[in-house]
A and B are shown apart, each in its own frame.
Chain A
Amino acid sequence: EVQLLQSGGGLAQPGGSLTLSCAASGFMFRTEAMSWVRQAPGKGLEWVAAIGSSGGTTYYADSVKGRLTISRDNSKNTLYLQMNSLRAEDTAVYYCAKQIGSCTAGNCYFDYWGQGALVTVS
């Protein structure tokens, strides 16, 4: 069974930092591209960042470029989102999501999602 178990949410001050983790199991993590998607309170879904299976390619939404960093440790089956220079508008539930395939292959949609982690910047 595919599982994405998230940790690391919480309260941060404006300008502060936080790291989210997403531990994967039930599939071959090292072969799958992954993304982070967020949802502000009462709002819709916003894609944040994506990373290729090896970690060598990353993509970001303009709203987070230079402040949030996606990374992965394939030896630990874990995806990360390092969040720096946090702003009030970063307040959201953050989901890690498994991509069905690589974006470059035209398969940039999401078949499994983590349970979400709330990040509050205040």
Chain B
Amino acid sequence: EIVMTQSPATLSVSPGERATLSCRASQSVSSNLAWYQQKPGQAPRLLIYGASTRATGIPARFSGSGSGTEFTLTINSLQSEDFAVYYCQQYNNWPPITFGQGTRLEIK
């Protein structure tokens, strides 16, 4: 089973600034990585797939990068609606499909 590790667990950033979230895989997942955003009481929303491709309707301030075992989600010019929990998910080696434990992005 591939273990996904996200860091940091909590990230405090001011609105208008940039947030950088990390995700590490225990072995290579190539570019088969997705990012999701989840707000309290809501289902997750797909942001990024293929490590760097934005899903339909996702603003350009969200960008993903990386391949192999190291991945980054960058959110530029943070808006109030961006403060949420973010999960990475690998789909290269399955079953099982595995998620990271999440990074909580909070307002500084």
Contact = CB atoms under 8 A, between A and B. Distances in A.
B91 A103 contact: yes
Contact of B99 (A45, A50, A62, A107): A45
Contact of A47 (B32, B56, B98, B102): B98
A29 interface: no
A61 to B, nearest CB: 5
Contact of A44 (B34, B55, B97, B99): B99
Interface string B21-64: 00000000000101010100001111001000001100000000
Contacts of A50: 95, 97
Interface string B48-84: 0100000110000000000000000000000000000
22 contacts: A44-B99, A44-B100, A45-B36, A45-B87, A45-B89, A45-B99, A47-B95, A47-B98, A50-B95, A59-B95, A62-B96, A95-B43, A103-B91, A103-B94, A103-B97, A107-B91, A108-B91, A108-B97, A109-B34, A110-B36, A111-B56, A113-B45
Interface of B: 32, 34, 36, 38, 43-46, 49, 55-56, 87, 89, 91-92, 94-102
B92 to A, nearest CB: 8
Interface of A: 35, 37, 44-47, 50, 59-62, 95, 100, 103, 106-111, 113-116
B97 A116 contact: no
A57 to B, nearest CB: 11
Contacts of B46: 109-111
B94 A59 contact: yes
Please name the 8 residue pairs, one residue from A and one from B, whose CB atoms are nearest each other, closest first.
Answer: A113-B43, A108-B91, A109-B34, A47-B97, A45-B99, A59-B95, A44-B101, A44-B102
